[in-house]
Amino acid sequence: MTSANYVIIAYAVGLGLLAFCAAKLWIDLRAAGRKTRGRGGVS
Amino acid sequence: MSTAGTNIFVRIYWAATVAMFALALAVLFTYTPTESTMGPIQKIFYLHLPIAISTFIACMVSFIASIGYLSTRKTEWDELAAASAWVAVQLCSVVLITGMLWARGAWGLWWTWSPRLTFSLVLWLLYVVYLMIRMSIESTERRAIVGAVYGLIAFLDVPLVYLSVRLMPDMHPTSVELAWPMKLTLMAWFVPVFMLAGGLIAAKTVLNRRQGEPSPSVAGFPAFPARGAL
């Protein structure tokens, strides 16, 4: 494998993992927000 | 600020972060020159270093928040400490992965037990254990106290990671002389990575507060039976 391939894999995996974390957090936040509203809390 | 105003600010913040990442990628692949000694593999550096620095900052935020909790016993500090430790684990994972890919391309091996690499792996393990300890304790107050004390101890590895390469013989580069276009690229990467790290810490803190108990999962992995510690 060439050096350029390692660079592409590093950026794809690194940024992909962080994007996954951010997306998961966003989904959890939306779910937590719905639960809060369902309890009659913060709207 | 009203909820609607906050939502707009959050959307703009994340849109700006994504735009800055796109810009940094464009700079990397169209403008940045190839380093003469290492060749194209050196380009991993522009992601690896900002994320490593962000890991240290996340650990430091967790450390400061742990001190804050122990001195005031306010749950806000505990929520921040847990959120920062969670982000530190994610960032440190990326540091280790990108570092291994760089090592394979530059040195021909995936891993070597050099001081910096070893202390970095220990740092990742320390904060993974921090998250696991929190998940294993049901009592909110007890979890916060144990987490804060452990957070103080775990942070002691950060200076070891930083100083190891300077105080001990190591394959890992210490400081690299960069040409101006390379410095510009590095700055272009520091901005979105810091924005991402700050945004993740803030979002995770809000999530911890909304849930009133630990997050049900760590980065998408199934929760432990005893929920609630993150």
* pLDDT tens readout for residues A14-28: 999 999 999 999 999
What does the CA dihedral B29, B193, B95, B174 come to, rounded to 10 degrees?
80
Number of domains in chain B: 1
What does the CA dihedral B49, B34, A16, B202 come to, rounded to 10 degrees?
30
Does a structural domain hold residue B205?
Answer: yes
- The CATH number given to whatever domain includes residue B151 is 1.20.120
pLDDT bracket for residue B228 (50, 70, 90):
very low
What does the CA dihedral B200, B202, B203, B208 come to, rounded to 10 degrees?
120
pLDDT, position B75: 93
Q: Which residue has the higher pLDDT, B71 or A34?
A: B71
pLDDT, chain B, mean: 89
Is-contact B84 B62, C-beta < 8 A? Answer: yes
pLDDT, position B96: 97
User: What mean pLDDT do residues B47-52 have?
Assistant: 96
Helix (H) or strand (E) holding B143, with range, is helix B140-154
Query: What is the percent of chain B where pLDDT is above 70?
Result: 91
Which tokens in the block code for residue A27?
């989904």
Does a structural domain hold residue B1?
Answer: no
Does a structural domain hold residue B228?
Answer: no
In this structure, which amino acid lies at residue B50? P
Does a structural domain hold residue B215?
Answer: no
User: Over 80: is that where the pLDDT of A1 sits?
Assistant: no
Does a structural domain hold residue B223?
Answer: no
Is-contact B213 B125, C-beta < 8 A? Answer: no
Does a structural domain hold residue B20?
Answer: yes
Is-contact B41 A2, C-beta < 8 A? Answer: no
Q: Which residues of B touch A (CB under 8 A)?
A: 3, 14, 21, 25, 28, 39-41, 43-44, 47-48, 51, 90-91, 93-94, 97-98, 101-102, 104-105, 196, 199-200, 203-204, 206-207, 210-211, 215-217, 219-220
Does a structural domain hold residue B123?
Answer: yes
Structure confidence by residue, pLDDT tens digits, B5-21:
778 899 999 999 999 99
pLDDT, position B1: 60
Which tokens in the block code for residue A40?
């009659």
User: Over 70: is that where the pLDDT of A32 sits?
Assistant: yes
User: Over 90: is that where the pLDDT of B225 sits?
Assistant: no
pLDDT bracket for residue B4 (50, 70, 90):
confident
Q: CB-based contacts of B184: which residues, under 8 Å, 6+ apart? A: B27, B31
Does a structural domain hold residue B186?
Answer: yes
What is the distance, to the nearest Å, from the Cα of residue B105 to the centroid of all Cα atoms in its chain? 23
Range of the structural domain that residue B122 is part of: 11-29+39-210
